[in-house]
Each structure stands twice: as structure tokens, then as C-alpha cells.
Amino acid sequence: MSGAVPMIDDLLLELVSSARQRTRARLASTPVAGLAGDVQQRLGRASHEVELRGLLVGEDALDELDALQDKVVEGGEVDFTADITTALEIEKMVIVEAQFEEQGGRPNRFAYRIVLRESPPLPEPASLSPFGGLDGFGDLGFDTDLLGDIMDQAGALQDVMEMAGDVLAGLEALGGLASLDAGNPLEPMQREAGSMEGVGGGASDAGAALRELSGGGE
């Protein structure tokens, strides 16, 4: 192959005999009554794929074979550059398939077939705004910043309602006390005073009896 030498990370693949690139569209076929054929809804595309065939020869062939096999086993993302992918703007790829063949009678000579597949970065996580993510739709005809003020007012109103609920609960408790039959609040004190009078009268009678026994009473 002429042109730039294909590279996987820092490994030069100088004897690439063929490079094949494939891109497949993701389509959903939907039949429609009365329509000849199906409606094709595009759902994006699948990852780009590149198939390489070539040879590893020379004194460094065994080391290059080991390096390629290590990348296959690790399964990590690799940088790939080649003329056939120049217009595709591929950032990272992974090796999804690899075949190696050693040809008898030819030392330090290995044939290979490698299939690489595009591994795009994940998109940024979606962020939700108070307006349900409509910030990116441009001018909606009103100031969406007012929504924040409305939410603040709603929070303050909720606090007031909670305070009112506490006050109502206190009033209900007072109403329960008012419904009790309290009677005469002085009645217990009056009963205690009566019992004290009885004790005092008994003490006077006992004193008179003692005076009579001692002869002191007339």
C-alpha cells in the first residue's frame, strides 16, 4: 500500500496488503398499509469498522507479533491512523478480531488479519433544569428565570401552612381540656379542712378526760 503507513498506537504496520472500511446505517423498517415498501427510519449508524491484512517480516517480526497479540488480549482502546479513515474523524478503536498465521519454511514471517471497531466517547450526562430541560430550546416567549422566584414563594407558602397546622393542633388540645368536667376546684381543700377540725375536736375531748382523772377538773 502507498501513502501513510497504518499505525495502531505506536506500532507501524509497514506491510499492509489491504485495508477495508465498512460503515452500516441503523434503520428501522416500518410497514405502512397501502404503501409499496417499508418506511425506513434512521437511528444513526453503527461504529465504523476497519479490516487490515498484511505481513510481519524481519528481525522485529516476533516482537511486533507479541505487541499485537497483547493489544488483542488486553481489549483496551487504541489509536488508529490510516489513509482510509482520514475523513471519518475516528478518535479511538478496539481490536475485536485478530488472526495470525505463521508460514512454514519462512522464519520471522507472520500473516495477520485484524478487525478494528470504532469506540466513541460517551455523551455528557443529561442535566435537568427547573423548567424540565427546555433551556436549550431558545426563546420561549417569557422569562424562564421567573420560575425560580415562583419556586421560592411556593416554599415560603408551605412553611406558613405548616405553622398554621401547628396552631390548629394547639387549639384543638385546648378545646379538649375545656370539655372536661372540672367541678368545684376548692372541694379537695374543703374536705381536708373538715378532717383537720375533727382531729382538733378529738384532742379537746382527750384533754378534758385527763383533767378529770387527775382531780383537777371541777
Output DSSP code: residue 138: -
Residue 142 is given by DSSP the state S
What would the CATH number be for the domain defined by 7-26+41-118?
Answer: 3.30.70
pLDDT tens profile 6-60: 999 999 998 999 999 999 999 999 999 999 999 999 999 999 999 999 999 999 9
Report pTM: 0.54
Q: What's the rounded Cα separation, in Å, for the pair 176 and 194?
A: 33
Flag whether pLDDT at 153 surpasses 60: yes
d(CA 171, CA 165): 10
* Amino acid code (one letter) for 49: E
The contacts of residue 153 (CB under 8 Å, 6+ apart) are none
Local structure of residue 71 (DSSP, 8 states): H
Domain extents for the chain?
A: 7-26+41-118, 142-178
pLDDT at 199: 47
pLDDT (tens digit, 9 = 90+) per residue, 58-95? 999 999 999 999 999 999 999 999 988 888 888 899 99
